[in-house]
Structure 1
C-alpha cells in the first residue's frame, strides 16, 4: 500500500513538473510600449539556465527579487516577475537613478543648456552664496567632478563620519545648501590623492554630488528635473509612467529613489547600448553616450566608474568583456554588455541587506550572462 502511494506520488510529481518545465519559458508579451519581442531560443539563449534561476528564486535561495528581464539585439526575449513584482510596478531603484541623471546631463549639453562637463558648478547657484568653508578649490569644482564622484568635497557615503554622508543631508531642509557648504576634504597618509590615483581622480561615493548635478540641470533647463526628464528622455522612449523624488525645498532628487517599470529600465539600458538611439531616433547624442561610458575613475578593486555609470570588472562579471551598469541599493541593476548586444534588468527589494548586491551580481554572472552566450 505504501509502495503504491509512493509510486502514485512520484507519477503526480512528474505530471506536475512537466507543465511547469514547459511553462518555465514564455516569450514576453507584445505590448504598445515599443518593445519588439522574440523567442529567447531563436536568439541563442539557454532557457534551461533561466529555468534553473527561476527555481532558485522559488525555493528562496535568492531572496526579494521582483523582476528579471533580458533584451538581445534590441528585442525583449525574457521577462519574469517574482515576489509581488509585475509589469506595471514602479520599482524604486535607489541609486540607479544616478545613471539617469547622467543621461539628463547629456541631454542638457546636447541642447546647449550647459556648455559642457567643465562647467563650474557654483556658478549655477549665485543665490546660495556666500557658502560656508569658502575656498577657491570649491569654486573650481566642475560638473565632471560630480559625474565621476571625484570632487574635493569632504563627502563619502561609505563613511558614517563624513561631513557629506547622505544621511546627514536627508535630515536638513536645504539639501543644496548642505552640499555647497561642504568643506574641502583632507587626504590622510593612507588615502590616495588625486594625482596618485588611476585616471588622476580620487573616487569617493557621494550622493550629494549627484543631487547637485541634477540641480545644475534644473537651473540650466529652468524647469523641474522630473519635467525635463519627461520631455528629454522618457517621452521619446515611450515611458509613460515614472516617479521622481524632490528635496524638502522642491529640488529634483537626481541622486536616488526614481521609480520605473522594469521594461522601461530595460529601455534605458538599450539606449546606452545603441549609443543614444531608440527606434532609429537619436534621443541622446552618441558623443555623450560614448563619453558617459568611458572609464574615468577607479571606484573599487572590482569596479571602475564613468559618468555616474559603473564598469564592473571580472570579479563581479566573470568576464573581461566590457560591462556597464546602473546600480542601486537593494540589488537593483541594469547591465549593458555591448559585445553580446545584451541588456539585463534585475529589480529587488533587498534594501540595506548585505546579500543584496552579491546576490544580484551572482544572478547576472552565473545565469544571465551564461545564458546569453556569445555568438
Structure 2
C-alpha cells in the first residue's frame, strides 16, 4: 500500500492547458474520488498517475518514489476501465490470471490469488464461463478481480460503472466500497456522477476547467462549498440559485430582495453580508431546505411560488416552481397535495442559506 503525492501537475495538449497546477496528497488506504463535468481534466490526471499520459510539468510520487518516467507496468498500480476489456476467448479464470502469467508467477500462487479474488467478488461459480455468458455486473466484477489479483499499491478506477444500468450501478457502488474496506488499498476513482463521488469517496476532489475547485470529505463539500460551482455540482436535485440585492432596513436588519423574493436575514447571516449592502449577490437554497409554509412560519421567511411540474418520487415530492423570474425546485413531504398551476407559499430554513459573491462566485 502507498500514498500518492501529486505536485504542481500540468498537462498541455497542442496549446490547450488541460490540467493546471494540480496538488493532491492521497493518503495510504484512502479512497479519493475525482469528480467534475466532461473536459474538466479528471481522467487526464488519472492517466498521468497511471503512466498512460505524459506529464508536461510537475511530479507524481507513489510511495516515496517519483514515477514520472516509469512505464505503467513498473508503477505497481492496477486500473479498472469503463470498458471491461476482457479477452472473449478466455474464461473468467484465465482473464483474471493472465496478468500474473505474464509476470511468471507460479501456478500455485496464481490459483491462490484468483480463488481469493473470486471469493471477495462472489464469482466462484463463474470462473469457467466465457465473458459472453456473463451479465454486465458480472463482467465488471471480473475486471475488478483482474485488478485485485495483482495486489497493487494503488487502484485506479476510470468511470467503471458508466456502462451499467441504474440499479446495477447502486449495487456495484456498494460492492466497490465493501471491497475497498476489505483490501485497504489506496484508490483513486474518476467519475462525472456526483452521487458516486459522495457515496464512495473518503474525500472528494471537485475539478473544473483543469483546476481543482475544492477538496474535502463529501459532507464538508456539500455543507460548506467553496464557490457556486461546487455548490451547484454536488447535490441532487441541484441547489437553487437566484440573483438578489442585499437591502438594509431603517431599523437595522438586512433583507435579500428581488422580484419574487423578499427575505429577512437572521442575525448570524446578516453580519457577514453587511459589507454587501446595496450590491447584488447570488443566493443559494437547496431543494430539501424548502417546504410548504404553514401558519407557524414567519412571513419574512416565506415567498409565493407557482407550481410548474410535480414529480412524485414516493419518499418525497419534487416541485418545480416559478418564484418571480426564478425557477426553483423544492423537495417536499409526500403528503403535500399540489397540482400544476397551483399557487403555494414556500418557507425556507434560515440556517441553510448560501451566498456567493456576484463577481468571483466565491462563497461569502
- Normalising by the smaller structure, the TM-score range is under 0.3
TM-score (norm 2): 0.26
Relative to total residues, which structure has the larger helix share, 1 or 2? 1
Higher strand share: 2
